[in-house]
């Protein structure tokens, strides 16, 4: 237990880089930035592996404590965001789907509707938008909560009481966010497709609801469902890892928390875009 | 007396202690110290002398930078998950409590017990209620730490450490920031623990506390040590402390400057 966090601590606290003198030239500056970037990648990778290890190894440990915390995190990263996602689904439907349906109808390309909707909403916009919204609403809270707990010595207190901080603080957040983003993405996609049709209907597009949904269903393959699940769970896992890593895995003072929160959200966005790019490649290959 | 009873509960040999926040900085070195069952040690020192780091190391929360630390006769060098039960025989109370701010006082106290024994809140409720009653915390059970005065937070932290029924309790500056009434209560309660508290099984508990003021700890049965200039100097009992010529000991025994308004 003591080793878990310790491994992650040493990675980005390597004094050579953190305490290097101020850059004297652009090459020094870029070199230092590159080293810090590589160290962050290494730290995040180690932290992700440690967390995965704890999830697998401590599956049966303290279930009566951890399971309620997982449910709590699912509620926070999922159920509590439903009203916001309802609003976003309406917006996405009206602004993107409705206009696309209307535009395709005008040029007589309505037969491409299904595949267009699947590519735009199911594969791309739905998962990415859901991930970014959860990152903003819940990921930021993770960094601040964990950073404050770290700065106030709560992590040391957990270790003193024989409670693994990764198991108690990180695992529920990772599982909660992964399941939360998956569920919210499904909700967002369905909401956007329905509200999009409503918008198109208001514009007198000659398309029955039956035809509209039939085209979409026919454009969806099993791979879309599988990759959607994998992609959204990956978003949730890695957003939680990035935000928890910055909040917990480094010794912090209270005044550092806001700075770390900004860094974590920035890196969270980068991670989301990278995962999205990876899945585009997977779609293209498949 | 059996062989096990002769083994010191806590034993340090040539130990070097690194700072918790910066492992490259040595705060105490060359520590040779052993604590036998039933003893009550007061480790005194000025601010930033390394008392907290020494105590955290003694609890097995840090590894020595050099030397060996034994708890209950077992070397802690390779303490890991498998030895967790052994380490939980040591209780630790942080200065200021370091309670979990998201949980209520009752949940704070229950958490270690629930996690260790995989209990639901309801299953742990009775033990928690008894302990809260003993420490006069029942009215604050459902309040979060941020809404409780520091005096009571310290008591809640003590309750949280006692819920696992440790054999040795380490307290980091337990009187810091306490009002006179709470300070007196704390001293009495710790003495009761050392003798064996009736409502906690009656087993005598070994205690180690740190202090930056020696006067409240005056008691012939306590052992004293001084942390100064990176060295741990055992002083002996209270009589030896009073006779000690060390300037820091005199400072720690000095009457505070009276202020008048």
Same domain, B147 and B183: no
Same domain, B17 and B56: yes
Query: Quick one: pLDDT at residue B2?
Result: 47
Whether the CB of A256 is below 8 Å from some CB of chain B: the reply is no
Nearest-5° Cα angle at A236, A35 to A246: 40
Query: Quick one: pLDDT at residue A8?
Result: 46
Average confidence (pLDDT) over A164-184: 96
Indicate yes or no: CB of A61 within 8 angstroms of CB of B61: no
Report residue B260's pLDDT band, with 50, 70 and 90 as the boundaries. Answer: very low
* Residue A102 to residue A93: CA distance in whole angstroms: 12
Q: Which of A63, A162, A168 has the CB atom closest to B88's CB atom? A: A162
Q: Which of B61, B100, B114 has the CB atom closest to A64's CB atom? A: B114
Q: For residue B233, what are the β-bridge partners?
A: B226
Report residue A27's pLDDT band, with 50, 70 and 90 as the boundaries. Answer: confident
Position A164 pLDDT exceeds 80: yes
Tokens standing for residue B258: 């009276």
Report percent pLDDT > 90 for chain A. Answer: 53
Query: Quick one: pLDDT at residue A10?
Result: 47
Query: For B98, left (φ over 0), alpha (ψ -120 to 50), or beta?
Result: left
Same domain, B100 and B31: no
pLDDT in tens, B77-111: 767 777 788 888 999 999 988 999 999 999 999 99
* Residue B187 to residue B202: CA distance in whole angstroms: 18
Residue with tokens 């969806």: A220
Residue with tokens 């999830």: A55
* Residue B17 to residue B45: CA distance in whole angstroms: 15
Average confidence (pLDDT) over B111-117: 95
* Residue A1 to residue B117: CA distance in whole angstroms: 17
Q: Which of B101, B115, B118 has the CB atom closest to A163's CB atom? A: B115
Contact A106, A100 (CB under 8 A): no
Query: Quick one: pLDDT at residue A29?
Result: 81
Query: Quick one: pLDDT at residue A79?
Result: 93
* Cβ-based contacts of A149 with chain B (< 8 Å): 100-101
Average confidence (pLDDT) over A104-125: 83
How many domains is chain B built from? Answer: 2
Residue B72 lies in domain: 1-89+170-261
Whether the CB of B248 is below 8 Å from some CB of chain A: the reply is no
Identify the domain boundary among B143, B165, B187.
B165
Same domain, B17 and B64: yes
Position B261 pLDDT exceeds 70: no
Interface test with A, best of B85, B100, B120, B156 (most A CBs within 10 A): B100
Of B122 and B200, the structure prediction assigns the larger pLDDT to B122
Contact A129, A85 (CB under 8 A): no
Average confidence (pLDDT) over A244-268: 88
Q: How far is CA A248 from the centre of its chain?
A: 18
Same domain, B214 and B107: no
Of A61 and B261, the structure prediction assigns the larger pLDDT to A61
Average confidence (pLDDT) over A72-101: 90
Residue with tokens 């938008």: A129
Measure in Å the smallest separation between the Cα of B80 and chain A Cα atoms: 7
Tokens standing for residue B254: 């000095």
Reduced to 3 states (helix: H, G, I; strand: E, B; else coil), residue B209 is: strand
Task: Measure Cα distances from A154 to A51, A148, A211, B93 in Å.
Answer: 19, 9, 57, 12
Indicate yes or no: CB of B116 within 8 angstroms of CB of A65: no
Most confident of A98-112, A242-256, B66-80, B95-109: B95-109
Of B110 and B202, the structure prediction assigns the larger pLDDT to B110
Query: Quick one: pLDDT at residue B4?
Result: 55
Q: How far is CA A260 from the centre of its chain?
A: 17
Same domain, B28 and B155: no
Position B258 pLDDT exceeds 70: no
Position A6 pLDDT exceeds 60: no
Average confidence (pLDDT) over A121-140: 93
Measure in Å the smallest separation between the Cα of B241 and chain A Cα atoms: 31
Most confident of A95-99, A272-276, B233-237: A272-276
* Residue A230 to residue A120: CA distance in whole angstroms: 17
Identify the domain boundary among B165, B193, B213.
B165
DSSP A251: -
Query: Quick one: pLDDT at residue B99?
Result: 95
* Residue B164 to residue B77: CA distance in whole angstroms: 23
CATH classification at residue B258: 3.40.50.300
A residues 118..157 contacting B (CB < 8 A)? 145, 148-149, 152-154, 156-157
Same domain, B148 and B192: no
pLDDT in tens, B158-170: 999 999 999 999 9
Identify the domain boundary among B165, B194, B219.
B165
Position A17 pLDDT exceeds 70: no
Q: For residue B42, what are the β-bridge partners?
A: B209, B224
Helix (H) or strand (E) holding A230: helix A222-248
Report percent pLDDT > 70 for chain A. Answer: 92
Same domain, B261 and B182: yes
Residue with tokens 């009002």: B179
* Cβ-based contacts of B123 with chain A (< 8 Å): 64
Q: From B107, which residue of chain A is nearest by alpha-carbon distance?
A: A65
Measured torsion, CA atoms of residues A175, A179, A181, A183, in degrees rounded to the nearest 10: -170
Same domain, B256 and B179: yes
Average confidence (pLDDT) over A166-177: 96
pLDDT in tens, B8-60: 889 999 999 998 877 788 899 999 999 999 999 999 998 888 899 999 999 98
Report residue A207's pLDDT band, with 50, 70 and 90 as the boundaries. Answer: confident
Whether the CB of B87 is below 8 Å from some CB of chain A: the reply is yes
Query: Quick one: pLDDT at residue A22?
Result: 59
Average confidence (pLDDT) over B192-202: 85
DSSP string, B152-195: HHHHHHHHHHHTT--SEEEESSTTTT--HHHHHHHHHHHHHHHH
Strands B206-211 and B26-35 turn out to be unpaired
Phi and psi of B45, rounded to 5°? Answer: 180, 160
Could you report the predicted ipTM of this complex, rounded to two decimals?
0.88
Position A234 pLDDT exceeds 90: yes
Query: Quick one: pLDDT at residue A279?
Result: 92
Tokens standing for residue B44: 């005194």
Same domain, B63 and B192: yes
Indicate yes or no: CB of B100 within 8 angstroms of CB of A149: yes
Q: For residue B45, what are the β-bridge partners?
A: B227
Same domain, B14 and B75: yes
* Residue A286 to residue B119: CA distance in whole angstroms: 48
Minimum mean pLDDT among A14-28, A71-85, A124-138: which range? A14-28
Q: From A60, which residue of chain B is nearest by alpha-carbon distance?
A: B118
Contact B102, B46 (CB under 8 A): no
Residues 6 or more apart whose Cβ sits within 8 Å of residue A257: A143, A144, A147, A148, A151
A residues 41..70 contacting B (CB < 8 A)? 61-65
Residues 6 or more apart whose Cβ sits within 8 Å of residue B246: B226, B228, B233
Of A257 and B83, the structure prediction assigns the larger pLDDT to A257
Indicate yes or no: CB of A153 within 8 angstroms of CB of B100: no
Whether the CB of B78 is below 8 Å from some CB of chain A: the reply is no
Same domain, B246 and B194: yes
Measure in Å the smallest separation between the Cα of A49 and chain B Cα atoms: 18
Position B242 pLDDT exceeds 90: no
């Amino acid at each position: 237990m003591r080793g878990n966090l310790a491994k992650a601590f040493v990675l980005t606290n390597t004094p050579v880089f953190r305490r290097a003198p101020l850059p004297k030239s652009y090459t020094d500056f870029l070199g230092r930035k590159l080293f810090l970037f590589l160290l962050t990648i290494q730290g995040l990778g180690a932290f992700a592996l440690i967390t995965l290890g704890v999830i697998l190894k401590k599956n049966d440990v303290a279930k009566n404590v951890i399971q309620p915390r997982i449910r709590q995190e699912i509620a926070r990263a999922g159920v509590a965001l439903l009203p916001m996602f309802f609003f976003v689904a309406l917006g996405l439907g009206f602004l993107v789907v409705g206009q696309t349906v209307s535009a395709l109808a005008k040029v007589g390309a309505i037969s491409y509707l299904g595949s267009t909707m699947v590519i735009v909403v199911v594969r791309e916009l739905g998962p990415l938008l859901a991930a970014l919204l959860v990152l903003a609403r819940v990921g930021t809270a993770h960094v601040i909560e964990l950073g404050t707990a770290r700065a106030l010595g709560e992590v040391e207190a957990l270790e003193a009481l024989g409670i693994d901080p990764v198991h108690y603080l990180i695992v529920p957040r990772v599982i909660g966010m992964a399941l939360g983003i998956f569920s919210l993405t499904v909700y967002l996609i369905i909401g956007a497709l329905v509200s999009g049709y409503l918008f198109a209907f208001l514009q007198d597009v000659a398309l029955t609801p039956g035809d509209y949904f039939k085209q979409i269903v026919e454009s969806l393959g099993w791979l879309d469902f599988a990759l959607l699940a994998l992609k959204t769970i990956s978003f949730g896992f890695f957003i939680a890892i990035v935000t928890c890593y910055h909040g917990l895995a480094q010794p912090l003072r209270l005044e550092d928390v806001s700075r770390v929160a900004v860094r974590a959200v920035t890196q969270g966005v980068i991670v989301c875009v990278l995962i999205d790019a990876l899945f585009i490649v997977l779609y293209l290959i498949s | 007396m059996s062989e096990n009873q002769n083994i010191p509960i806590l034993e340090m040999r040539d130990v070097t202690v690194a700072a918790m926040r910066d492992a490259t900085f040595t705060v105490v070195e060359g520590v040779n110290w052993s604590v036998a069952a039933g003893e009550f040690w007061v480790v005194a020192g000025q601010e930033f002398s390394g008392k907290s780091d020494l105590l955290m190391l003694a609890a097995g929360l840090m590894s020595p930078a050099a030397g060996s630390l034994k708890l209950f006769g077992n070397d802690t060098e390779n303490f890991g998950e498998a030895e967790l039960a052994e380490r939980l025989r040591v209780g630790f109370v942080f200065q200021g409590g370091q309670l979990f701010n998201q949980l209520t006082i009752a949940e704070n106290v229950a958490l270690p017990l629930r996690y260790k024994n995989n209990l639901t809140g309801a299953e742990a409720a009775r033990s928690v209620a008894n302990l809260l009653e003993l420490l006069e915390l029942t009215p604050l059970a459902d309040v979060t730490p941020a809404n409780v005065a520091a005096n009571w937070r310290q008591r809640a932290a003590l309750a949280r450490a006692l819920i696992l029924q440790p054999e040795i309790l380490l307290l980091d500056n337990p009187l810091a920031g306490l009002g006179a009434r709470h300070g007196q209560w704390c001293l009495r309660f710790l003495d009761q623990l050392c003798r064996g508290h009736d409502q906690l099984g009656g087993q005598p508990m070994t205690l180690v506390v740190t202090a930056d003021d020696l006067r409240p700890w005056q008691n012939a049965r306590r052992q004293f040590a001084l942390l100064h200039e990176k060295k741990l100097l055992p002083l002996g009992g209270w009589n030896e402390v009073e006779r000690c010529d060390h300037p820091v000991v005199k400072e720690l025994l000095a009457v505070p400057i009276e202020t008048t308004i």
